[in-house]
Amino acid sequence: MNAEVTAIKTAAETTLAQEFAQARGRLPGDKAVAAQRAAAFDVFAQEGLPHRRVEDWKYTDLRVLMRDAKPLAAPPDARSKAIAKTAGALVGDVETRRLVFVDGAFVPELSDIAALEPGLSIGSLAGAMAGGDPSLATHLGKLAPASDVAVALNTALMGDGAVIRVAAGATTKRPIHLLFVASEKPAATFTRSLLVVEKGARAMLIESHEGPEGTDYQVNAAVEIFVGDEAHVDHVKLIGEGPDALHVSTLAAAIGEHARFNTFTFTAGGAVVRNQLFLKFDGEETVAGVRGATLLKGRQHADTTLVANHVARGCQSREMFKTVLDDEAHGVFQGRIIVQQGAQKTDAKMMTQGLLLSERAEMDHKPELEIFADDVQCGHGATTGALDDELKFYLMARGIPAAEAEALLIQAFLGEAIEGIEHAGLREALMDQVAAWLARRG
Amino acid sequence: MALLEIRNLHVEIDGKPILRGVDLTVNAGEVHAIMGPNGSGKSTLAYVLAGKADYTPTEGEVLFNGKNIFEMQPDERAAAGLFLAFQYPLEIPGVATMTFLRTALNAQRKKRGEAEFSTPEFLKKVRNLAGELGIDPAMLRRAVNVGFSGGEKKRNEVLQMALLEPRLAVLDETDSGLDIDALKIVADGVNRLKSPNNAFVVITHYQRLLNYIVPDVVHVLSKGRIVKTGGKELALELEARGYVEYQEEVPA
């Protein structure tokens, strides 16, 4: 272990250290994984929880927002599993292949792992670790940035997750749905999933996160996606956590050449949400859509932090993030597009927009472009504003009551991002979620 | 009872008086034209009837069907049968025209205690009206007024009017920006709607539209007051002689 461990200060930091010390012997994985965990924990031990003086976490100070750390979740009992049976409403009636995780642990009896399409293999992370799956050594932790403390904690404490492989040329018939459900126990879960989509294959991965009211559980979920050359991958993350939950999640993806990759994050739940995306354009001529819609009310805090790293030439990326904020909610978008020297002919456009429904809501945008190539088309835009009174008047002058007029305009605002989802059923499911949110707003 | 009764209406915008004592009575079955030079308060009158914020009535009253409209929100006025065809119809990105039309129609019907239209009924009605107004069905699939030409936006206003079947329609310079063919289409749309139960207030700068929508009464609005009222021949007179004499007649 590292001898230069700095003083651990907050209660949460102390608890995390204790949890790691107690759990490290029983967490899954061989010696190599254990070494990976230890190295990751060292990053946390050195840095502590990220705080506002760490630029990437400027607006989401976990030392303040994370009052305590919860104990690692126990394996789910029958009662917890029963709760999960009614979960999954976020995807509406979209037919998926569902893999259920309760309190961070894979529950095969609730999951649909029979009759897999040719070329598709699915397992749990704990199972893969126990079985010495060789793909872990080549893929696990290769994309998620080891220096990020949230990722480091995830690597140190990862208990379970999904390990999915789609062989070259294969196509999944239904979206694969990782359904993460928290039971009512105030516990912490650390899940890590891997999706490897080989050359020319096609897959859609939905991850949804939900949990009960009245429990301040904590979720740290990371997904690493390898998008092979000429592959087509859609990823959708639905954050519908309970209102008191702390949710930190990371998507790290590397995208091959001539591929299509779309990712969408929908955030409506959770007390504190940090949604991180680390995308690396490794192959030429790839097209990517990176979008998100966030709906916040009360005192919710949600931070989306994106790094899109263009390494290869000729890739196109479109980033669009929309945030609706009511009451005293706080929204954050940090987006950085990096264009490396070799990434000539990059075409990247990033837009982030906040819609404030209350004078006390706050939106912070931090768009950044770092360009080291000289023949590129890059742009970014950031706006924050209230609903357009002129448009509202026009709608009302046609007989539409104020609340309904506002709802139409809010749906239109978010719709521009949601339209980017290729799966029609999921688009509808999300517009239904938006309508439900608006109906609750009254 | 008159359909619209405006008595001594004074309206300010940002503390600046715009309307300075307008009196106007419109009965069912009538078409009134309001003409006047730029800046005379024509659009202010239209907006204040529809209920636009920041248009503050300081004196006088407006009764629509005997009810004080200043106690009604814009959507309540619309449901009661008041319609304003906007001089500059707004573009609403992301709101599909059909959604907008259906939401408006059903909101009004709901407020009046009428049954909402079913989707097939609604679609049929809109398609028929669009056909009569020469509106390309492809336009109806777009967002409200987004990518519409000036003339298409005006026709879309008339489509909304025809669909919502108001008791009183105020047309605010619906003729501006229209070529002669579009003007005829718009006028035909209005004339088809005309009945003994409804009324129109046609606000225009030019006489041209009034060749096609023939008014029963013509008013001249100048510096916030109606300074002359006459028959349809007054419009021709104005066309020939301009507004100069009316601008000078009224003390500031």
| Cα nearest neighbour of B79 on chain A | A399
User: What are A350's two structure tokens?
Assistant: 């990033």
Return all residues near A300 (Cβ < 8 A) that are at least 6 apart: A243, A270, A271, A272, A273, A329, A330
Q: Do B94 and A394 touch (CB under 8 A)?
A: no
Q: Do A412 and B111 touch (CB under 8 A)?
A: no
User: What are B207's two structure tokens?
Assistant: 């006489």
In order of A127, A158, B109, B132, the CA distances from A122 in angstroms are 10, 18, 53, 59
User: Given strand A218-227, what is the order of strands in its sheet?
Assistant: A120-124, A162-166, A188-197, A218-227, A246-255, A272-281, A301-310, A330-339, A362-371
Residue B252 has pLDDT above 80, yes or no: no
Point out the residue among A402, A411, A416 whose CB comes nearest to the CB of B73: A402
Q: How far apart are CA A294 and CA A406, in angstroms?
A: 17
Cβ-Cβ contacts under 8 Å, B74 against chain A = 393, 396-397
User: What are A176's two structure tokens?
Assistant: 């694969």
* pLDDT < 70 regions, chain A: 1-8
Q: How far apart are CA A267 and CA A247, in angstroms?
A: 10
Are residues A317 and A282 in contact, defined by beta-carbon separation less than 8 angstroms?
A: no
Q: What is the pLDDT of residues B47-92, one digit of tens each?
A: 999 999 999 999 999 999 999 999 999 999 999 999 999 999 999 9
Are residues A407 and A357 in contact, defined by beta-carbon separation less than 8 angstroms?
A: no
Distance, CA of A403 to chain centre:
31
Q: B98 — contact with chain A (CB < 8 Å)?
A: no
For residue A322, the model assigns a pLDDT of 98
Cβ-Cβ contacts under 8 Å, B104 against chain A = 395, 398-400
Would strands B16-26 and A362-371 be described as parallel, antiparallel, or unpaired?
unpaired
Q: What is the pLDDT of residues B112-151, one digit of tens each?
A: 999 998 999 999 999 999 998 888 888 898 999 999 988 8
Phi-psi category of residue A101: left, alpha or beta, with phi > 0 → left and psi -120 to 50 → alpha: beta
Q: DSSP alpha helices (H): ranges in chain B? A: 42-50, 74-79, 97-111, 119-132, 137-140, 150-164, 180-193, 233-241, 244-249
Q: B222 — contact with chain A (CB < 8 Å)?
A: no
For residue B132, the model assigns a pLDDT of 87
For residue B251, the model assigns a pLDDT of 46
Are residues B164 and B105 in contact, defined by beta-carbon separation less than 8 angstroms?
A: yes
Are residues A17 and A8 in contact, defined by beta-carbon separation less than 8 angstroms?
A: yes
Point out the residue among B52, B79, B111 whose CB comes nearest to the CB of A393: B52
For residue A110, the model assigns a pLDDT of 96
Cβ-Cβ contacts under 8 Å, B95 against chain A = 408-409, 411-412
Global ipTM? 0.95
What share of chain A in percent tops pLDDT 90? Answer: 95
For residue A246, the model assigns a pLDDT of 98
Q: How far apart are the CA of B136 and the nearest CA of chain A, in angstroms?
A: 22
* A9: nearest Cα among A59, A47, A37, A43: A47
Q: What is the pLDDT of residues B209-238, one digit of tens each?
A: 999 999 999 999 999 999 999 999 998 888
Helices (H) and strands (E) in chain B, counts: 9, 12
User: Given strand A260-267, what is the order of strands in its sheet?
Assistant: A105-106, A97-102, A176-181, A202-210, A232-240, A260-267, A287-296, A316-325, A347-356, A377-385
For residue B248, the model assigns a pLDDT of 55
CA end-to-end distance (rounded Å), chain A: 55
What integer is the mean pLDDT of B95-122? 93
Cβ-Cβ contacts under 8 Å, B90 against chain A = 390-391, 394
Q: What is the pLDDT of residues B150-201, one digit of tens each?
A: 888 999 999 999 999 999 999 999 988 888 888 998 899 899 999 999 999 9
User: What are B116's two structure tokens?
Assistant: 């909402």
Q: How far apart are the CA of B8 and the nearest CA of chain A, in angstroms?
A: 24
User: What are B152's two structure tokens?
Assistant: 């298409």
For residue A359, the model assigns a pLDDT of 96
